[in-house]
Structure formats: C-alpha cells, structure tokens
Amino acid sequence: MKQEIGAYAGIDVSKKTLDVTLLNEKGGKRRKRVANTAKGIQKLLKWFKKQTKVQLHVCMESTSVYWEDVAEILYETGYQVSVVNPVRIKGYAISKLSRSKTDPLDGDVIAEFCQKQSPDVWEPPSAVEKKLRALVRHLEALKKSRTQQSNRLSTCKDEDVKNSLDTLLNTIDAEIKQVKKQINDLIDQNPDLKERKELLKSIPGFNDKTAIHILAEMYDLPNYKNAKAVAADVGITTSHHESGTSVRRKPKISRMGKAAIRAALYYPAITALQHNPAVQKLAKRLEARGKTKSVIQGAAKRKLMHLAYGVVKNGKPFDPAYTG
C-alpha cells in the first residue's frame, strides 16, 4: 500500500553517475550528483535525509542494469521506488515541450514525471529470482565469450595459441554445462518458477531457452497492468515520429526496453509465424494490408509477449484453439 508522499525525486542513471533532482514538500528544487557506486549511493541517502523529513517517492529509468543497485538500496531504506521504461519519460517530456528531441533525459523531468504521474511502486526480485537472473546473464556472457574465442581459433595460425584456445574453449564448455545445470536445478526446486516455465512453454514458438530468459528478466510479469505495458517495457511497441507538419517518418520499433528479451524473441517469432495460430492470423491480416516482413516479425514478437503475459497472469496454458 502506498504511503502518503510529500516529496519526489528523479534520478538520471548512467554507468558512472547518478544525477538527482529533488522536489521537496515546500516546493523547492534541489540537485545532486553522486557516483553510481556503493559509496556514492550512501552519500545520496545522507543527502536525502538532510533535504526532506517526509515520505519520498524516487523515480528512475530502467536503463540497462545500471539502476539496479541504487533502486534496491533505496527500497531497502524504506523509500518508495519506481523504475520506469524510458519511453514513458520521453513521451512525458515531449508532451510538456520541456526539451528538444535530442536532449538527454535528466533528473528534472523524471522528478516531475514522478510527481505528476504517480508511477507504480517497484519491488525487487526475490532471492531465488535474483539468483536465476544472475545465472542466466552469466550463461549468456559465457556463450558470447565462447563465440569470440572460437572465432579467434578459426583464424589462428600459431600452434601454441591454438592449443591454448582449445584448452580455453573446453573450460568454457564445461562452465556452460555446469551453469545450465544450476539454472535447471534452481527452477525445478522452485514450484512457482517451474509452473511459470511450463506455462510459457505451452505457447507455440517458446522453448526452454526463451521461457527461462523471460523468467529471469521479467520476474514481475504477472504484476504488469496489461499486455501493452509488457510489450512497451520490452521495447517492441511501435513508435511514431511527427514534428509539426513537416516531418513524418515511418513507424518503427521503439527499442527502448529489455534488450535481452528482444534478442531472445527473434527465433521464437519466426517459429511462431509457422506454428502459432494466433500469430499466423495476425500475420495474414498484416500481409493483406501490405506490411513488410520486418513489420510482421515485430508484430509477432509483440503478440508472443501478449500471450506470455496472458498465460502467466491467468495461470492457464495456451489454448491451441485461440486465434484472437
């Protein structure tokens, strides 16, 4: 339950810094920059306590993974925290005509957005969900490393280097195998995760890998307000660009959201276009309207995430007869 809020803060998050704007209960505005480190976050907490004595609502964008530490520490300290897709903040900024389209989003706009829009309060993942996310991200890093070293081996001429690369690849393969086992064991030992995985796999186009990616990166999937919000958070909604009457560009995918999920949806979308009745019906409708292959594939990704939200939210597997 939300407590009555008296002050609002917006944090513009980057890899190295946190640029903060505080709107206090007296109508004043204060700004602070700290390093995006454990020490910097502690400085921020002390600054917040000096600046206001009332309940504070802090908002930030879901920028890569750089927001995660500060969001969790603020939550554990007792502040209300909202983590918002950058698309929403950008839309708010443009609607207020507060900046040009090329200006970076900053703490001022995020703080005002928090004050005016009262975004939903964020909750951190459970210990099990956090563990799964860490393992899945580590697995993807290992796979990326394996590809890099394999590419080096394919062009290597020196025998000593080849032997070293072979040893390294064998080590990486062993680690990949071990991490996959840890992931599967973790899911099998957790009834909620196991059930959600099976629900996601019931959707034609989704396999173990895709289901696990969604479990790891979208642990709060059933808590979204609707399927449209899910697609927006992944970054697979269509964005439009209009400037007066002079500039109109073709709609395109926003690509502001969870990049790991977008990447994980590539092959499932292709499979779903061949085997998922709901996605096939959508594709035929778009084909009749003359839409391109890339547009149809983007729509297939959105439909898959809508279906993923539906099965997890309702706790019921995909119905093969469903074509809506």
Nearest to 60 by CA among 2, 18, 4: 18
pLDDT tens, 139-156?
999 999 999 999 999 999
Residue 255's pLDDT is what?
Answer: 55
Q: Which pLDDT band holds residue 102 (cuts at 50, 70, 90)?
A: very low
Q: How far apart are CA 301 and CA 292, in angstroms?
A: 15
Contact call for residues 118 and 95 (beta carbons, < 8 A):
no
Residue 239's pLDDT is what?
Answer: 53
pLDDT tens, 215-250?
999 999 998 889 998 998 898 876 544 333 334 445
Contact call for residues 241 and 247 (beta carbons, < 8 A):
yes
Residue 104's pLDDT is what?
Answer: 47
- Which residues, listed in sequence order, are joined to residue 82 by a DSSP beta bridge? 59
Orientation angle between helical segments 127-155 and 208-217, nearest 10 degrees:
130
**Secondary structure letter of residue 239 according to DSSP:** E
Can you list the domains of the chain with their CATH numbers? 7-117 (3.30.420.140), 127-189 (1.20.58), 214-314 (no CATH)
Residue 98's pLDDT is what?
Answer: 55
Q: Which pLDDT band holds residue 87 (cuts at 50, 70, 90)?
A: confident
Nearest to 25 by CA among 48, 5, 50: 5
